[in-house]
Amino acid sequence: MGLGGGVVLMAVMAAFLPVSVLVPIHGLVQMSSNAGRAYVQREFIVWSLLKWLILGGIIGALLGGQLVIELPDRWLKIGLAIFILATVWHLIPYKLIAGRAGPFILGMVAAFISMFFGATGPLQASLFSRLPEKKQTVGTHAAAMTLQHGVKVLVFVALGFSFAQYWQLVIAMTASGFLGTWVGSLMLDKLPEKQFRIIFVGSLTLLAFNMIRMALWP
């Protein structure tokens, strides 16, 4: 579906890794996983949306990396969920995120939050939900997340985090992730456009409500 895997992966990894390791390793694995998906769907990527999204993402990641205190996870989740619901259900006029300023601001906010929360795929997916073709939605979202997580990894490296000791875990998860992407891409060809839209919007909505639930009743 182009989203949701990062949120699930974050929950699973939390059972095995300390928080100080979880976000940077999750970012590296997600960068690799989304790179595979973007490669498979590369001919459908809408690059005009990405350039401003990524420029904002670079600024957001740098700003987030400068903070020495961790922002309250509860309020980040609630804010993220509200934005997703408002965008997907057309409560925010599309012109606010369709022009240059919209993707730029969205990229900056998503990258900033990602430094603390980790999985912000649904936030950026809300922008691509308006694209007319399912493969454009999946491919463009994958490319955006590859670049965002790539910037985040670079910031963590600059902050002194060492990825080398986790190389076996990262390689194993990257390989299995690409296998899942390949199988999923074959299934995507068989999924009708109307059904895809229903599942896509429904998945975003469920993820948003689940974020609110986790924030209010952890």
Written as tens digits, the pLDDT of the chain (218 aa) is: 555 566 667 666 766 777 668 778 888 888 888 888 888 888 888 887 777 778 888 888 788 776 644 556 677 667 767 766 776 676 755 555 555 566 777 778 777 776 666 566 666 766 676 677 878 888 888 888 888 888 888 888 888 888 888 889 888 888 887 787 778 777 777 778 788 778 777 877 887 788 788 778 87
Rounded (to 5) percent helix, strand, coil in the chain: 80, 0, 20
pLDDT of residue 165: 87
pLDDT of residue 94: 52
Amino acid at residue number 97: I
pTM value is: 0.66
Spans of all domains in the chain: 5-216
- Give the dihedral of Cα atoms 113, 116, 119, 125; nearest 10 deg: 0
Sign of CA dihedral 69, 66, 87, 193: negative
Sign of CA dihedral 175, 50, 128, 21: positive
pLDDT of residue 86: 72
The CA distance from 206 to 202, in Å, is: 6
